[in-house]
A and B are shown apart, each in its own frame.
Chain A
């Protein structure tokens, strides 16, 4: 399995500011994903980040609000821009990995964001 770390683990931010979340993986992976988990809710995919191409965003999420970088095969960042209290969530990085010959998906520990 892949070992995934995220920074920061949590933050409290003021409305109107931006926060960049980093995701580091211990092995090279082709596909990285960013999810949002609002309080008490399930996981919602924000975007898929592939190295060397622009991120692909899901319906309801736009690049201006959630710009993503993927400079290499072990690292990605997600920025939450111009934050409002509605952006208070857990943001999770995820990568595709293999179990034997099969593909599966692993998650980082998450970044807990509170916007005041």
Chain B
């Protein structure tokens, strides 16, 4: 079942603005993953985080693995129209079957 609390549920921003979204959990995860899903497509991996406190960037995207292992955030800087989509966080434990997803953040970017 879903154990991750992802917020916000949706965001409407102007092109050029920065975006921040986060996921929290009541339990510890060993890996945090952030995916983006475009309409009609499967989720695409954006960033993977493997160590508590780790801060990783992928272009305009930056994500951090919370020091408590119970949270993660994703920032998008200088948003552009193609950033539109649904962003999912996922937490994974060493047990390969135990991967949980957040409910998603739906991002709309207005030109």
Interface residues of A (CB under 8 A from B): 1, 4, 31, 41-45, 48, 56, 59, 92, 96, 99, 102-110, 112
CB pair A108–B42 under 8 Å, yes or no, is: yes
CA distance A104 to B102 in the complex (A): 17
Q: Is the CB of B42 within 8 A of A105?
A: no
**Distance A4 CA – B44 CA, assembled complex (angstroms):** 11
Residues of A within 8 A of B31 (CB): 102-104
* B interface residues (Cβ-Cβ under 8 A, vs A): 1-2, 31, 33, 35, 40-45, 48, 50, 88, 90, 92, 96-97, 99, 101-104
**Which residues of B are found within 8 Å of A107, using beta-carbon distances?**
35, 42-45
- Nearest CB in chain A to that of B2: its residue: A42
Alpha-carbon distance A72/B15, docked complex (angstroms): 46
Residues from chain A with Cβ under 8 Å of B88 in the complex: 42-43
- B48 close to A92 (CB less than 8 A): no
Residue of A nearest to B6 (CB): A42
Query: A interface, by DSSP: helix, strand, loop or mixed?
Result: strand
Q: How far is the CB of B2 from chain A (nearest CB, A)?
A: 6
Q: A42-B2, A48-B97, A104-B31 are in contact. Are A99 and B48 (CB under 8 A)?
A: yes
Shortest CB-to-CB span from B62 to chain A, Å, is 17
Once the chains are docked, how many angstroms separate the CA of A102 from the CA of B33?
12
Q: Do A110 and B41 form a contact, CB below 8 Å, given A56-B97, A104-B31?
A: yes
Say yes or no: B48 contacts A102, CB within 8 Å. yes
Known: A42-B88, A102-B48, A105-B99. A92 touches B40 (CB 8 A): no
In the bound complex, do residue B44 and residue A42 qualify as a contact, i.e. CB atoms below 8 Å apart?
no
State the CA gap A112–B50 with chains docked (Å): 32
Q: From residue A24, how far is it (CB to closest CB) to chain B in Å? A: 14
Which of B42, B97, B99, B103 interacts with A92 by CB under 8 Å? B42
